[in-house]
Structures are given as C-alpha cells and as structure tokens.
C-alpha cells in the first residue's frame, strides 16, 4: 500500500495561477516523477507556504494533498495525516471534489494499522456531499476493504470485494489499479493455501507494477511471488523471483530488503540445483555487502 496509486494532483485549470506557485508545483511534480521524493517534499512545502500566503483555499488544499502523497511514499504516515486534515478543510472551503483526499486518508489510516478509521474514511468517499467518486475511487475502496477482510481472515468477504474491484476495473484501466486487484487476488489465494494460483497472481501484479512505473512495489510483488512459488514447491521459480526482487530493491537503495531476498534466492537456487542462478545470487550478495559510495561534496549555487 506504500506504493499506492495516488500521484500529485494536477494544478487548478481555467484560472490564472501565481507564477511562483506554478514554478514550485511544476518542480515538485517533476521531482516526484523522477523518484526524488525528498526533493519533492521540500518543494511542496514551499508551495504550501506560498499558497497559505496567498490565502487560496484550493491551492492550499492541493499543495497539502500533494505533500501528503510524497510523505506517504516515504513512510511518514503520521505527518501525512496532519496535512491531509488541512487539505480536506481547505478543499471543502473551496467547494471542490474531495474524493481523492478522502481516499488517501483511508489509505494512510490503513498503513497506520487503524482499520476502523480506514473504513470510516472509505465510507466518506461515497457519503460526503462534496465527494464525487469515479470508477477508480470505487475500485480502490473495494481493494482497501478487501485488504482489511484478509487481515481479519475473512477470505469469503475479501473474495466478494475482490470481485467488485475486478468488475469495476474495465471502467478504470489504470495499471496501478490492475496491480492492486492482482495483489488482493494473491492474498486471498495465499490465505486459502492455493499457492500456485497466488504466485501467478503476484507475477501478474509485478507486470502491472512495471507498467505503472511503481518500482518499489514491483520489488515487493516479486518478493511475494517468490514466497508463493516456494510454498507451491517450485524452487527454481521461487529463486528467480527472489533474485529479481533483490536486484530491483538494491537498485532502489533498499539494501535490507534486498539482502533478505538475495539470501532466499541463493538458498532456493542451491536447493533446486540451479547452479547458474545460485552464482548470480551470491554475486549479488557480495554487491549488497559492499559499502555505499560516499556522497561527493555538494556544489555551491551562485
């Protein structure tokens, strides 16, 4: 869920924007798209200060929302929740659609392990008179509720909600949503011990994460596929998925997760008799253990 489908909101249309605010917003959006999330946070903080100075409710609400999206991607859920409350208040004052911000409030509550708050915010997506949900919002609410059902070991209810999301998907052809549907399918299959079916679902999730350019979630999906293939007794496939998860995770700077997946890849490859992959996994382990290159001195701006 940390790699949720949310992206920064586009700027308001059909009106002239403050030039400085537009510059900060464009820079932050570009940084986010380049996965420079810390830089995006810094720029959105500046954009929020500028919007507050202008006393523009819609701009304040959008900047606070965008800042919360970036903070959520960094795992800073409590801080994100504070900015989401500001976003809701300001967007309500501006009388604009609240569906996006209510949905991410539900996601953040889920990531904070607050299921009742998650369900309350999810219900607000449909109940709030200022919220105008589309098929994508409806799909994501079904997925959130399905995750909670899985957490509560209610695979019967989770399957109903998965089917609801799956039926909605053709009207919201977003690869990130498709990935969410496959992930929930995999979770349900895992809970029912249908491990090969779960592995296939997680493989499809990984493909969709790649299409959606959600690289962190791609690595996690490959790791989930590795676990499912292992439980299905398919050692070579498990080793392959664990190796790819480790390689992707390391390339993104996630050394701890990469080390975990790399060890599993090496063990599974050895056990399955795949000598070539075992060598690759051991070489990757050596790379993971190498010290990170020291950052060079910062260039001084003029």
Q: Are 68 and 106 in contact (CB under 8 A)?
A: no
In-domain check, residue 59: yes
Q: Are 185 and 158 in contact (CB under 8 A)?
A: no
Mean pLDDT rounded to a whole number for the chain:
91
In-domain check, residue 263: no
In-domain check, residue 10: no
* CATH assignment of the domain containing 107: 1.25.40.10
In-domain check, residue 102: yes
In-domain check, residue 260: no
Query: Residue 173 — very low, low, confident or very high, per pLDDT cuts 50/70/90?
Result: confident
* Entry pTM: 0.86
pLDDT in tens, 20-60: 999 999 999 999 888 788 999 999 999 999 999 999 999 99
| pLDDT at site 14 | 54
In-domain check, residue 277: no
In-domain check, residue 264: no
State which residues form the domain around 77. 22-115
In-domain check, residue 125: no
For the chain, what is the domain count?
1
The backbone region for 259, taken as left when phi is positive above 0, alpha when psi lies in -120 to 50, beta otherwise, is alpha
| pLDDT at site 218 | 96
The CA distance from 89 to 68, in Å, is: 14
- Nearest Cα neighbor of 10 from 54, 92, 81, 69 is 69
């Amino acid at each position: 869920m940390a790699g949720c489908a949310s992206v920064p909101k586009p700027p308001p249309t059909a009106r002239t924007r403050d030039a400085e605010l537009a510059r900060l917003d464009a820079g932050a959006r570009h940084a986010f798209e380049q996965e420079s999330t810390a830089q995006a946070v810094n720029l959105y903080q500046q954009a929020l200060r500028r919007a507050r100075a202008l006393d523009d409710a819609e701009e304040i609400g959008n900047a606070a929302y965008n800042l919360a999206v970036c903070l959520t991607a960094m795992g800073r859920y409590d801080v994100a929740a504070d900015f989401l409350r500001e976003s809701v208040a300001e967007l309500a004052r501006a009388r604009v659609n609240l569906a996006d911000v209510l949905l991410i409030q539900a996601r953040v509550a889920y990531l904070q392990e607050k299921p009742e708050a998650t369900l309350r915010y999810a219900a607000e997506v449909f109940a709030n008179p200022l919220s105008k949900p589309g098929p994508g919002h409806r799909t994501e609410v079904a997925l959130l509720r399905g995750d909670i059902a899985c957490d509560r070991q209610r695979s019967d209810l989770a399957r109903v909600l998965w089917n609801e999301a799956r039926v909605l998907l053709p009207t919201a052809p977003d690869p990130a949503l498709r990935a969410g549907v496959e992930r929930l399918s995999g979770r349900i299959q895992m809970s029912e011990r249908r491990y090969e079916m779960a592995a296939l679902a997680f493989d499809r999730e990984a493909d969709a994460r790649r299409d959606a350019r959600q690289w962190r979630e791609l690595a996690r999906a490959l790791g989930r596929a590795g676990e499912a293939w292992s439980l299905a007794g398919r050692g070579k496939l498990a080793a392959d998925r664990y190796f790819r998860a480790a390689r992707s995770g390391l390339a993104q700077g996630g050394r701890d997760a990469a080390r975990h997946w790399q060890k599993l890849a090496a063990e599974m490859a050895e056990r399955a008799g795949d000598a070539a992959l075992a060598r690759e996994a051991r070489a990757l382990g050596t790379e993971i253990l190498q010290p990170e290159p020291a950052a060079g001195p910062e260039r001084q701006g003029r």
